[in-house]
Amino acid sequence: MPAKGKSMKKILYISAAMLLPIFVVGQQDSLSKQIGLQELVIKEINPSLNRPLTFSSLESKKLKQLYFGADIPTVLQQLPSINSYSDNGTGIGYSFFRMRGMDQTRINTTINGIPVNDPENQGVFFTNFADLLSGVEEVQVQRGLGTSTNGTSAFGGSVQITLAALKQKHSAEIQVGFGSFGSSRITANIHSGLINKKWLSQLRIGRVQTNGFRNNAAAQVNSYQVSVTRLLSKGSIRFNLFGGATSNQLSYLGIDKQTFEDNAKSNPFVNGESDAFRQFFNQIQYFRRIGLNQTLNASVYFVRSAAPKFQFQFPASWGYSFDWFNMPPVINGGDTNIFAGDMMTSYRLDQKFYGAFVTHTLKFKRFELNSGLHANYFTADHFMEVDAAALLPNGIFPNHEVYRNTGVKKDLSAFLKGNLSATDRLSLFVDMQIRVTTFSYEDKEMAIRPSFGKVNDMQWVFLNPRIGLNQTLRHGQTLYIFTGLGFREPTRFDFLQDDFAIGEVQQTSIKPEQLWNTEMGYRFITNGFKVLANAFFMEFQNQIVGTGALNNFGYPITGNIGRSWRRGLESEVLIPFDKMFSLFANASFSMNGAKEFTQTFSNADPIGTSIQKTFKGTPLALSPNQIHLLGIQFISLDETINTAINGRYVSKQYLDNTGNELLSIPAFYTLDLRFTYQFNLKFIEKATWQIRLHANNLLNAKYAPFGSLGGSNTIDAIGNRGNFPLFMPAAGTNFFLTLSSSF
C-alpha cells in the first residue's frame, strides 16, 4: 500500500531479504560441458501456460506474417481488447494502442527486460525504434496486472518483447517494400554464425518512411540493432545495442466532423510543424546456469534519448507577451510593443536512463522460485527554444531559451514469485512485489521569464501482491483464477498538465491509482486447435483518466475519479477445418464506467463563472464495449502460400467521461487481406524468396479509431456543451508489397 517517509535504506533491506534464496542455495554443480546455444532470455518474467495469467503470444513466424512496416501497435491489434491508431493514419510514424480502454502510459513495455516506458510520463513511442519486429523472437501481451515485470506497474497490461536468439549458422536477409502514400521499407539483417565456437553476432539496419495518409504528415525512421554473444562454459554474455532516429511532420490534432466528411486527409498543422527524436538502447546481459536446477540472469542498461526539435507555432492571436518567451519588449521609436507575434518554438528533451536488474530461478520437481531486483535512475532536461519569429527584440537570436527544468525519477523494486505443483494437475502461483519510486523537479531561473510554480519532492512505496491457481484438465484443457492488488503513481504530466509547473504542485495533488484485478480463464490447446476464454474484473480507486482534451504536445489532460471499473469477457480462437484452412477469431465484450465523479465547467451563461456537475454511472472515455476480429487463413500443404482475410469491428467510443452521445466517435468495421508466396530460384539455389502483400481497409471505410475534444469546456443552463468531437482519421484502402530474400 502507498506509504510516506520510508527511507531507501529500509527498501534495500527488504529487497535483499526477498533475494535471499539466491545466496542460500547458490551451490554450483560439477558440469563442465557447454550449454546449448539457444539463449534463455528474460524467462523469469514471461508466463507460461502453467501460470494462472491472461496473456497472448505472437512468435517470430506469426510476426513475419503480420508485420509489413507499420509500427508495433498495428500488429498488436490482432489480439483481444486492443485498439490502435496513428497520427498520420498509416500506422507508420507516431502510433499508439489502448488495451481494455487504457492508454500506453498504463501499460508496461519491456524489450529484453529493459523498461521502455518513459519513467516520468510512462509513455512509449514505438516510432523511435521502428522495424524492431524484423529481429524479434516473441511478443507476449499480458492483460491486467499480470506478473511482476521491470519498470512501471502494469495496470492495463504489459507488452514483453524478446529479441531473437542469435543463429548458429551464417545467414542474411534483405527486405524491400513499397506501398500507398509513398510508404517504403528496406531492411538488412545479417547473422555471423558461430565463430571459434564462442562468438555469435547479428547486425540489422533498416529504414521505414511514408508521406502519410494525412496532409503534411510524413515520417521517416532509421533503425539499427547490433547483438554480440560470447558463449561461456555454463552461460553467456550478450551485448545488445539498438534504437533509431525519427523525423515526423506533426499531425496529432484531430479534425471536426464536417472536415472529416469533406476531407479526411486534412491536418491542422500547416506551418511546417515537425519534430525529430533519437533513442539509443544499450544492454549487457549475463546468463549463467548454476548447478542442475538454478539459473541467474543479470543485466545493466543505458538508454540515451534526445529531441533535437519539436516545432510548435504560437500564433499572435493567442496574445502571449514577450516576457513569457523570456524576452524584453520590442521598442519601435517611442512605442513599446509587449505582445509577441507569431513565434515558432522548439520543445527540446535530453534524457539519460541508467538501470540494472538481476533475476534468479530455482527449480525442483514440484516447485519453482523466481526472484528479482531492479533499480534505475532517470534524468530529463525539458526546455524550449525560439527558432524564428515575425518580430524579435534586439539581441535575441535563434535558439533563445524560453524555459528549462529538470525532472529526476528513481525506481527500486524487488519481486519474489513461487509456483508450487500441489498435484500433477493443480498448481499454486504467488507473486509479491515491493516498489519504491521518487520524483523531483527543478526549474531554472530565467533572466526575464518568471517561474510560474514549483514541485515538491515526491516518494511512493507500493506493495503489489498476486495469487492464482492453475488446474490442468484432460485433453489439453486448463482452468485458472488469478487475483491481485496493484498501485501506480501519477505521471509528470498528470501533475503538471504541461511541460512546466504553473503553480505549486504537491504529491497529494493527484492520488495514486489502486487496482484490484481478478481474472478467470479457460484454455484448450491441442493439435492446432486453440480456444482461450477469460472473464476479467478490474476495480479501480482513484483511476487516472483523460478528460478528452489534449495539451500542446498531444498528451491527454487527466485527473482522478473515485471508484470505477472495467469488466468483461475475452476470447481467442483458432479452429483448423482441414490441413489447409483454419478459422481465427477473437472477441472482447466489456463494461467500463465510473460510479460518480464531478467535473468543473465554465458557465456559458453568465460568462466567466464556473459550475460543477456530478455524473453517475457514465462510461469511461475511449473504452469501446466491443472489439472483434474474425478471419480465415489458408496455408498450402507445402507452405509456399499463406493467405488470410479478416474483419475488425470496434464499437462506439465516448470522448470524455460524461456519456454525452454528441461527444463520441462512431463504431467502425474494416476488412484486411494478407498474402505470402515463398519460392526458390534455380540459379540461386541457397536463397529463399518471399513476396508478401498487405491490402488494408479493402472496403475503403471512412473511420476514426481515435478522437479528442475540441471547442471550449463550457456548459449552459440546459446542458449544452461548448465542446465538439475531433476525429483522428485512418487511411482508406491501401497496399504494401514486400520482397524478401534470405540465404
Report the CATH number at residue 564. 2.40.170.20
Predicted pLDDT at 436: 97
- Does residue 540 contact residue 593 with C-beta atoms inside 8 Å? no
Domain that holds residue 53: 8-314+347-384+416-742
* Residue 735 CB burial class (10 angstroms; 0-12, 13-18, ≥19): middle
Tell me which residue has cell 468483461. 568
CA dist 15 and 414 (Å) reads 5
**Residues forming beta bridges with residue 174, ordered by sequence position:** 188, 741
CA dist 391 and 486 (Å) reads 52
Helix (H, G, I), strand (E, B) or coil at 471: strand
| Interacting residues of 258 by C-beta distance below 8 A, sequence separation 6+ | none
Phi-psi region of 155 (alpha: psi -120 to 50; beta: other; left: phi over 0): alpha
CA dist 620 and 626 (Å) reads 13
Q: Is residue 1 part of a domain?
A: no
List the end-to-end C-alpha distance of the chain, in Å, as a whole number: 55
Q: State the DSSP string of 291-348.
A: TTTEEEEEEEEEEEEEEEEEEEEE-GGG--BGGGGT-PPEEETTEEE-B---EEEEEE
Q: Is residue 338 part of a domain?
A: no
Q: Is residue 341 part of a domain?
A: no
- Does residue 176 contact residue 738 with C-beta atoms inside 8 Å? yes
Q: Which CA distances in Å does 561 have to 245, 498, 511, 567, 624?
A: 38, 20, 10, 17, 19
Question: Which residue type sits at 736?
Answer: F
Question: Which residue type sits at 547?
Answer: T
Q: Is residue 718 part of a domain?
A: yes
Residue 65 φ then ψ, to 5° = -75, -35
| Interacting residues of 294 by C-beta distance below 8 A, sequence separation 6+ | 25, 26, 360, 361, 362, 363
- Does residue 615 contact residue 599 with C-beta atoms inside 8 Å? yes
Q: Is residue 320 part of a domain?
A: no
Q: What angle do CA 353, 23, 240 make, to 5 degrees?
A: 30
Predicted pLDDT at 29: 33
Q: Is residue 620 part of a domain?
A: yes
Predicted pLDDT at 612: 86
Predicted pLDDT at 32: 29
Predicted pLDDT at 394: 86
- Does residue 442 contact residue 379 with C-beta atoms inside 8 Å? no
SS (HEC) of 478-539: EEEEEEEEEEECCCHHHHHCCCCCCCCECHHHCCCEEEEEEEEEEEEEECCEEEEEEEEEEE
Q: Which residues of the chain have pLDDT under 70?
A: 1-48, 333-334, 552-554
Predicted pLDDT at 202: 96
Q: Is residue 69 part of a domain?
A: yes
Predicted pLDDT at 334: 67
- CA proximity to 226, closest of 236, 239, 244: 239
CA dist 351 and 308 (Å) reads 12
Domains in the chain, number: 1
Phi-psi region of 234 (alpha: psi -120 to 50; beta: other; left: phi over 0): alpha
Predicted pLDDT at 48: 67
Q: Is residue 393 part of a domain?
A: no
Q: What angle do CA 643, 166, 45 make, to 5 degrees?
A: 85
* Residue 571 CB burial class (10 angstroms; 0-12, 13-18, ≥19): middle
